Amino acid sequence: MASASICPVYNPSHLDTQRFWDRELVRERPAIDVPVGLPKNIASPLAWKGADIASKEPEWKLDLTDEEVVMVEKALLGFEFKFQDLSKLSASTFELPTEFSQRLRKLSDQLYNGVGFQIIHGLDPTKYTARQNMIMYAGISAHICPQRGFVDVFGKAVIAHIVNVQASKDDPKSTAPAFTNVPLSFHTDNCEIMAFFYLDTALEGGQTVLSSIWQTYNELAAERPDVLHTLTQPWVLDTFKPVSLQPPRHVRPLQRVDSDKLPILFRFSRYPITGFQRGRNPELPEPTTAQQEAADCIQFRAAKNSITLPVVKGDILLVNDMALFHAREAFDDGGIPMKRHLVKMYMRDPEQGWEIPLSIMENEWKTSYTPNQPDGTRVETWDVAYKPGIEELSMLNG
């Protein structure tokens, strides 16, 4: 039986939220310090509250001018004329005028040293084919973060389609929360820079929500250092996949990193703890009460400090996945199968990226950013359009 002090379900209710904060109001601060080697506070522009940055849109949104959209279309045509293989996409093959390219390149500074996310607004995906949309998406992104990552468990695909696969009676009834229309709890994807291209948005709801990991850490360090101790211990996370495809993950959600730029490595998802439509593997050890309580502390604090993004159809969003949690509102597609359609990619900027020892990175990160061929090269698969079943190959699903 679940403890009365925890919320055992993936999607907490408003009542669960109120109960959590009622308990926190009367809780005494534990008489312990943060774990040895971890900071007591992280002072950084990446440690923010949503209420403080909501009015600072110029820091996190770039509106493309009509002239720049024309430049993007010329770069698209130029790439199509010279190349068939989409893996050839780069800043040099998706040719933009120098001034515009530099304007995009500067967005990397905001991703790694500013607020940690950027919205690029101004494209209309209805004007282009599915393949052309992918070329523009990856081409623009390459001017910001030159390196692409793999998004599937095999380390082959560079595109993931985020759609509600339960949109009709014939679609699967058991899946991960990312591929339904329910709210997504706050989580990370174990990549460096995560990107979404909003091919279409929902009829109602479905907005992306962000929250600072480092702000959550600071609050836990000040008020709940016991939770930080729990997070530095080993956890067993279910992947809800066959062991041959993706075995359970043995991780420490919070780790120290010997880096001037990255004070902590904090990776988290509520889904492997609570399950969703698929329950946790009964052969795995059950999450402890302390782990479930830690999951609640992360969820409710992240929600308190979050910002709901004003993204619309055609927007590109880039998020520093090592500094920000992301979540999603519930949505209604109005009976239109898979109307809301996001395309996810993993990226990084080798020049700006934080140096992280591979020894402490989870297998998903290594699979994303290291070569997938014995000779040290990379071969990429581009699923330009959604195909039923490919969602099951995503590394992490909410």
- The tens digit of pLDDT for each residue in 316-342 reads 999 999 999 999 999 999 989 899 999
pLDDT greater than 70 at residue 353: yes
Given a contact cutoff of 8 angstroms between Cβ atoms, the answer to whether 352 and 108 are in contact is yes
pLDDT greater than 70 at residue 363: no
Question: Whole-angstrom Cα distance, residue 286 to residue 280?
Answer: 8
Q: What one-letter code names the amino acid at 57?
A: E
What proportion of the chain, given as a percentage, has pLDDT over 70? 97
**Nearest of 326, 345, 288 to residue 6 by alpha carbon:** 288
Structure-block tokens of residue 11: 């999607």
pLDDT attached to residue 372: 87
DSSP 8-state assignment for residue 152: B
Domain 14-23+32-393: homologous superfamily in CATH: Clavaminate synthase-like (3.60.130.10)
pLDDT attached to residue 369: 84
The model's pLDDT over 279-330, given as tens digits with 9 standing for 90+, comes to 888 889 999 999 999 999 999 999 999 999 999 999 999 999 999 999 999 9
Q: What one-letter code names the amino acid at 102?
A: Q
- In the chain, the N- to C-terminal Cα span, in Å, equals 25
**Interval 29-34 mean pLDDT:** 90
The residue among 247 and 380 whose pLDDT is bigger is 380
pLDDT greater than 60 at residue 186: yes
DSSP 8-state assignment for residue 370: S
Q: What one-letter code names the amino acid at 18?
A: Q
Dmax of the chain from CA atoms? 66
**Interval 353-358 mean pLDDT:** 76
pLDDT greater than 80 at residue 395: no
When the pLDDT of each residue in the chain is averaged and rounded to a whole number, the result is 92
pLDDT greater than 80 at residue 117: yes
Domain ranges of the chain: 14-23+32-393
- Count the alpha carbons within 13 Å of 84 in the hemisphere toward its beta carbon: 0
pLDDT attached to residue 1: 38
- Lowest-pLDDT choice from 81-90, 231-240, 313-322: 231-240
The residue among 28 and 137 whose pLDDT is bigger is 137
pLDDT attached to residue 303: 97
